[in-house]
Amino acid sequence: MSATVSTAMLLLVPVFPLLLIGALTVTRVRHMALAMCPLAPLPGLVLALFPAANVSVAMPWLLVGSHWGMDHTGQIFLLLTALLWLAAGIYARSYTRNSPQRLRFWIFFLLCMSGNLGLTLALDMISFYLFFTLMSFAAYGLIIHDNTPFALRAGRIYLWLVILGEVLLFAALLPAARAADSLLLRDVAATLANAEGMNLILALLLVALGIKMGAVPLHFWLPLAHPAAPIPASAVLSGAMIKAGLLGLLRLFPLGFATLPGWSATLLSLGLLMAFFGVLMGLLQKQPKTLLAYSSISQIGFPLMAIGLGLAAPQQWPLLAPVVGFYALHHGLAKGALFLGVGMTGHLNSPGLMRHVTLAGLMLPALALAGAPFTSGALAKAGLKPFLMLSPLLDESLLTLLLGGAAVGTTLLMGRLLLILWSPARAAVKAATSGMWGGWSLLLLAVVLVSSYPGVLTSSAAGADLKWIDALWPVAGGAIITLLGWYSTRKRGAHLGAKDLDVLLDALLRRLANLAAALKLPPPPRLPRGARWQNLPLLLLLQDSEQQLRQLSVAGVMFILLLLALLLL
């Protein structure tokens, strides 16, 4: 592809979905625009598959100067994002065909797509922040699409965290840009290690981007949003959008520029916590999309650990970065295929060939996520193992054992998912249409071919010394435990539900109430199961404070103080 065509395609990637939104508002061409909506990610897919060398464009006239381009990291994330949105769009065209809210769905779908695609190409702070914000707020419209009480509650909690994340991200970017004296993301990453208040900036970035990634304990929007959103929206929420937080860490953290052992240990600890927490919570679920949400929390812990290793040895980052990118690509495609597969399970309880085809289609990405031999998951985990010796936190052998245990847990999750999807309770799921089969088949093909995509792994991390027995034992062990667990609990089962923090908080308050009664102290307020969070006394106090801030005199003073603070930066 020539440089001119690549530049034009680069500009079209985030703009084409917005042009289709404009066409949807015109009655005469709306039918044609609806037919073209699933094809909106095609410019991004073409650019990722056939890139020109060093394609980039500087636009000093846009905002305060924008710089878009595609480096190796951006290429991998663009490929993942475009493929997922294309498959989900094809799936959604049939899925929403008879929905009275179809037009609203596609408007939010395209807005979210534009932001998600655009941030993979953004090389400057302003563009990244605006695309990130567009994607985040547009996703709210997808989460509440069904307008059920559950969907509205999930959307409200998601929106609270999005606003918090955007404020914290903005608060981190301002001092980072000042320290770098530049708005380019690479300049910020290169100078951040020497910036004044580096630890505070990194903490703000980790919390802001961790919300999007589902990092514990900021994860609780994920198990609510995934079941609430329509299936194609859930696929891109988990497969592509949470990777936006990971991409933000790759762009902004000083990876390859400085040794930060404290932050290395922090990310390693957080990654390990997420890997096991997601498994434990997921095994208690009965709803397939909730289980997959917890699986995403678990799986995102692995690239977080890889980033932690990179902060311990910056000289190894050029070799480790492709491993992180490949892991994101592998997980995004496999998880997207599983989410779309949830809508295909109506065929599992019907006789004939379609039953076996559907089961095979579900098992393929499940085995890839578990890291079974000869899958992309095995290759991704093998690529990470040579770098475990860099850990400043744990011995290499212990860390290897823990990662093997996490792989067993992933196998248990996938086994439970298949048992849930094959249960008689899923027999009422409608048979999939041809469009849904088309979108799902595209992702299944991508799961098979992802390992052959050129350049995703360097030779040192491509699993040259891969021992397939290392990939086999966690899957075999997890499969055996799954069968034994199914046999022993087939007539009963634990179930926690999606509101994990609600349940845990309720249990904590009940224990405190019992302790207060024993000590003859006033008991703490009890949180009834299913109660809304704004009933908590703390949030009532915050609500009263917000009413005070809404007064014109108070708001005016706060606005003036904010302007003065910005001028002094």
pTM: 0.83
CA distance 412 to 372: 13
- Among residues 58, 74, 57, the alpha carbon closest in space to that of 7 is found at 57
Residue in the block written with tokens 């400057």: 124
Q: 147 is written with which tokens?
A: 């307008």
Higher-scoring residue by pLDDT: 542, 363: 363
What is the average per-residue pLDDT within 366-371?
90
pLDDT at position 110 is: 95
What is the pLDDT at residue 127?
A: 93
**Model confidence pLDDT, tens digit, residues 101-121:** 889 999 999 999 999 999 999
pLDDT for position 453: 65
Mean pLDDT is lowest, of 50-54, 75-79, 259-263, for 50-54
Rounded to whole angstroms, the Cα distance separating 214 from 220 reads: 7
Q: Count helices and strands (H / E) in the chain.
A: 24, 2
- Residues 278/298, Cβ–Cβ less than 8 Å: yes
Question: pLDDT tens digits, residue range 310-350?
Answer: 999 999 999 999 999 999 999 999 999 999 998 888 767 66
Calpha distance 162→399 (Å, rounded): 33
123-127, 211-215, 385-389, 464-468, range with the lowest pLDDT: 464-468
**Residue 96's pLDDT is what?**
86
**pLDDT greater than 90 at residue 562:** no
pLDDT(540) > 90: no
pLDDT given at position 128: 95
Strands 56-59 and 66-69: what pairing?
antiparallel
Q: What integer pLDDT is reported at residue 184 of this predicted model?
A: 92
Percent of the chain with pLDDT over 70: 79
Contact 315, 67 (CB under 8 A): no
Average pLDDT, the chain: 82
Q: How far apart are CA 202 and CA 253, in angstroms?
A: 7
Range of weakest confidence among 44-48, 87-91, 350-354: 350-354
Q: What pLDDT does 495 receive?
A: 47
* Residues facing residue 81 across a β-bridge: none
Residue 77's nearest CA partner among 243, 317, 319 is 243
The per-residue pLDDT for 455 is 54
pLDDT band at 4; cut points 50, 70, 90: confident
Residue 79 pLDDT > 90, yes or no?
Answer: yes
User: Is the backbone peptide bond immediately before 217 cis, with ω within 30 degrees of 0?
Assistant: yes
Output the pLDDT for position 460: 41
- For the chain, give every domain's residue range: 1-233, 255-498, 539-569
Let me know: does 289 contact 282? Beta carbons within 8 Å: no
Highest mean pLDDT among 75-84, 354-363, 434-443: 75-84
CB 301 within 8 A of CB 327: no
